[in-house]
Amino acid sequence: MKHARRLATVTLSVSLLAGTAAALAPTASAASASTCTYNLADFDAHVDGNGINYRTGPSTGYTSKGFLFDNDRLRVYCGKGNWYYTKLTHRLKSDLSAGTYGWIRSDMLLHLAG
């Protein structure tokens, strides 16, 4: 009987800890620079296109923060696959505030020297 109680207590403790870890895990919308798999020498870039989604993470599965437009300026910090983690440094048409961080596909940018 003692062993059964101990086993039940251990099982309950493990399941509670596992549930807490799952509850504390970040959501897909919480992706940040920590999601990057490679670093880049910081460089500036211009958006090449209109109505480009500025996303919360490095894929189309993440939500859009808003849209970027031709010649909006970004500072690029790091990447994952063909996505770059950036900061909007100067906006021309975008409703997003300068200083907003987000993800954009690398082929939507014109790269400039850092």
Residue 92: domain span: 34-111
Tens digits of per-residue pLDDT, 40-62? 888 999 999 999 999 999 999 99
Determine, yes or no, domain membership for 11.
Answer: no
Tens digits of per-residue pLDDT, 61-106? 999 999 999 999 999 999 999 999 999 999 988 889 999 999 999 9
pTM for the model stands at 0.70
Q: Which residue has the tokens 């897909």?
A: 28
Integer Cα distance of 70 and 85 in angstroms: 18
Integer Cα distance of 84 and 7 in angstroms: 48
Q: What is the domain count for the chain? A: 1
Determine, yes or no, domain membership for 48.
Answer: yes
Determine, yes or no, domain membership for 91.
Answer: yes
Average pLDDT over residues 31-42: 85
Determine, yes or no, domain membership for 84.
Answer: yes
